[in-house]
Amino acid sequence: MLEAIKAAADKNLRLYPDPEAASLCSAIANYYGLASEQVFVGNGSDEVLAFAFQAFFSPGKTIVFPDITYTFYPVYCQFYDIPYREIPLTEYFNLPVQEFCGDYAGVVLANPNAPTGKSVPVCKIRTVLEGNPNCVVLVDEAYVDFGGDSAVSLVDSYKNLLVVKTMSKSRSLAGLRVGYAMGDADLIAGLNCVKNSFNSYTVDRLALVGAEASLRDEAYYRAMLAKVSLVRNHTASRLKSMGFCVMESSANFIFISHKRAPARSLYQDLRDRGILVRYFNRPKIDNYLRVTIGTEEEMDTFCKTIQEVLEVNYHEV
Ligand SMILES: *Cc1c(COP(=O)(O)O)cnc(C)c1O
């Protein structure tokens, strides 16, 4: 992948990139068994999401997403003046699937969800698609490769499904800024319309080349995914033995809470020792920490440090 980028860093950089990203679209289509017309490429999935909100949702028509989910969804709604309703997740952060079947004007689901890491099987996504036949159901699969169930298999059967993915997480390429959407050719045409209405040149030459090379390196990618899952599961069991409640995760992070040590102070205690985890000062999740899985060594340091904090500050053995 790095070799491919280095090789592409030549005098051709004086030329604009392909505005249609045709070669990368076709590589992605090949990878998932789709047609190129079913793929859209953007500068990270955040840009793809922004285009999708603008293309498929409209002012005056209420869309829905869970109350606990990726925090950019309400931001896009406010930016594009799209009314939204947050449907509460159940007590254990599960998706109340039936409540999402209301013939809404739009549905957005992160699967696996952030920051809980919980995922739903594709049959539940199918239920939501059938419960909303007249709007776009956007499934954000930023973390799906770490163990979720992808809805890409439904793209050919449901014209209202848009699956959004990113190379930032499972392909460790956040700096390259490549995200993509897969859906019916009409939806993809809609995204292209929005994009071309203000800047048709999106992804740059080096990112196009790097992303395509990453898709070719399946062995490395699989090995890295396996490693992350292994370290995640190992970290989860160590934390459980320290008295943590660890939510079942299909992502590259875990969502944890401790019965005696409040998340807010644990966050500060870890920070004082040079470890940064995510604390959300929000109702329902303010006693949880989201811990991203790093290398084996990093997670070992994390576990040892949190164990020490529990012993010193909370007299846990
Ligand atoms: C990280 C993330 C994104 C954005 O990723 P990009 O780096 O912009 O591709 C989108 N959705 C979710 C749920 C994410 O966690």
- The upper half-sphere exposure of residue 114, i.e. CA atoms within 13 Å in the direction of its Cβ, equals 21
CA–CA gap between residue 89 and residue 167 (Å, rounded):
27
Q: Judge if the beta carbon of residue 146 lies within 6 A of ligand 1.
A: no
For residue 83, pLDDT over 80 is answered with yes
pTM above 0.85, yes or no: yes
Q: Judge if the beta carbon of residue 66 lies within 6 A of ligand 1.
A: no
76 confidence band (pLDDT: 50, 70, 90) = very high
Query: Residue 277 is encoded by which pair of tokens?
Result: 């985890």
Note whether 129 and 103 are within 8 A (CB).
Answer: no
What digits encode the pLDDT tens for the residues 140-149? 999 999 999 9
State which ligand 1 atom lies nearest to the alpha carbon of 113. Answer: 13
What digits encode the pLDDT tens for the residues 275-307? 999 999 999 999 999 999 999 999 999 999 999
Give the chain's mean pLDDT: 96
For residue 98, pLDDT over 70 is answered with yes
200 confidence band (pLDDT: 50, 70, 90) = confident
Query: Residue 2 is encoded by which pair of tokens?
Result: 């790095």
Note whether 37 and 185 are within 8 A (CB).
Answer: yes
Minimal-distance CA residue to ligand 1 atom 11: 142
Q: Judge if the beta carbon of residue 245 lies within 6 A of ligand 1.
A: no
Residue 316 CA to ligand 1 centre (angstroms): 36
State which ligand 1 atom lies nearest to the alpha carbon of 70. Answer: 13
Note whether 138 and 56 are within 8 A (CB).
Answer: yes
State which ligand 1 atom lies nearest to the alpha carbon of 46. Answer: 8
What pLDDT does residue 285 have? Answer: 97
Please report the domains of the chain, with CATH numbers, ordered by start residue: 2-216 (3.40.640.10), 219-314 (3.90.1150.10)
Residues 245-266 have a mean pLDDT of: 96
For residue 317, pLDDT over 70 is answered with no
What pLDDT does residue 314 have? Answer: 87
